Amino acid sequence: MRFTYADAMTDPAFYVPLAKAAENAGYHSFAVADSICYPEVSDSTYPYTPDGSREFLENKPFVETFILTMAMAAATERIRFTPFVLKLPIRPPVLVAKQASSLAYMSGGRLSLGVGLSPWPEDFEVMGVPFARRGKRMNEAMEIIKGLTTGEYFEYHGEIYDVPSIKINPVPAQPIPLLVGGHSDAALRRAVRLGDGWMHAGGPPAEFDALLTRLNEIRKEEGKENDPFEIHAISGEAFTVDGVRRLEDKGVTDVIVGFRLPYQLELDQQPLAEKIAALEGFAEHIIAKCG
């Protein structure tokens, strides 16, 4: 089992010392949140809170994902970084391919690119991108990123995007893993068909088990049940050694852990020293005992 540390909407000055502390404590990766903006007026709902409330995001600091990741990567040597998740279809895929390949190259290949659909129509509106056919846009964008990050000439002629034969340089020595977030059937199938893994966003244990069952069904349907595939999960089981073993038995490869509730309306007031103590305590009591 590998362990990912997650903290978001905190003091931006905390991220670099947190990344250093997580690396020293033995975490495999650091999850990096993505948010473009917060609209003053919206009737959108958030799919991962019980009541669909989104007000917890207002006034919370979000440093742009690639910029924050590069700052942390420059201050560390081993820990990986995983956007959780980058809102891909609101962005030009050629630009994302350039950003991701540059970041992966400069960090020594320490990037896994978590991608997903934004739940906010406003994100599409302010970026000048149609909200309709966003799933198709996402699929084509993933194909373009996979093609361009090889460093070879690549062209793409789809329903949404048309890219002439181009190449980008530099690219990392190893392919950038593409991980897909989302709980819909379409997201699970996208993860299997186009990605290297799936990212779970949390929820009741029974729901998680149902998602794993469906994911395994799709892998069999697509003839990929024996292919390497990462499963990143948020689960309360991760906070005991026995629970970690149970997650391993279910096929989970990476657990994502944080030590405060992110959906609070109040600004995060937890001191940096307490955050570091929490991640170090988990490493001592769980990571070290899980090998």
Q: Report the pLDDT value the prediction gives residue 213, as an integer from 0 to 100.
A: 98
The rounded distance, in Å, linking the Cα atoms of 63 and 19 is: 15
* Contact between 100 and 116 (Cβ < 8 Å): no
What does pTM read for this prediction? 0.96
* Contact between 176 and 160 (Cβ < 8 Å): no
Q: Which residues face 81 on adjacent strands? A: 30, 111
Q: Report the pLDDT value the prediction gives residue 291, as an integer from 0 to 100.
A: 73
Q: Phi and psi dihedrals of 45, rounded to 5?
A: -120, 155
> Running along the chain, 291 residues long, what does each successive block of 10 average in pLDDT?
97 98 98 96 84 90 98 98 98 98 98 95 97 97 98 98 98 98 97 98 95 98 97 98 98 97 91 98 97 73
Q: Report the pLDDT value the prediction gives residue 52, as an integer from 0 to 100.
A: 85
The rounded distance, in Å, linking the Cα atoms of 23 and 258 is: 15
Helices (H), the chain: 15-25, 65-74, 93-106, 121-126, 134-148, 185-194, 205-221, 241-249, 272-282
The rounded distance, in Å, linking the Cα atoms of 223 and 113 is: 24
Q: Report the pLDDT value the prediction gives residue 44, as an integer from 0 to 100.
A: 87
Got the DSSP string for 117-145?
--S-HHHHHHTT--STTHHHHHHHHHHHH
- Cα torsion for 44, 47, 51, 52, to the nearest 10°? -20
Q: Report the pLDDT value the prediction gives residue 45, as an integer from 0 to 100.
A: 85
Contacts of 273 (CB under 8 A, 6+ apart): none
Cβ atoms < 10 Å from Cβ of 281: 12
How is residue 64 written in tokens?
């742009």
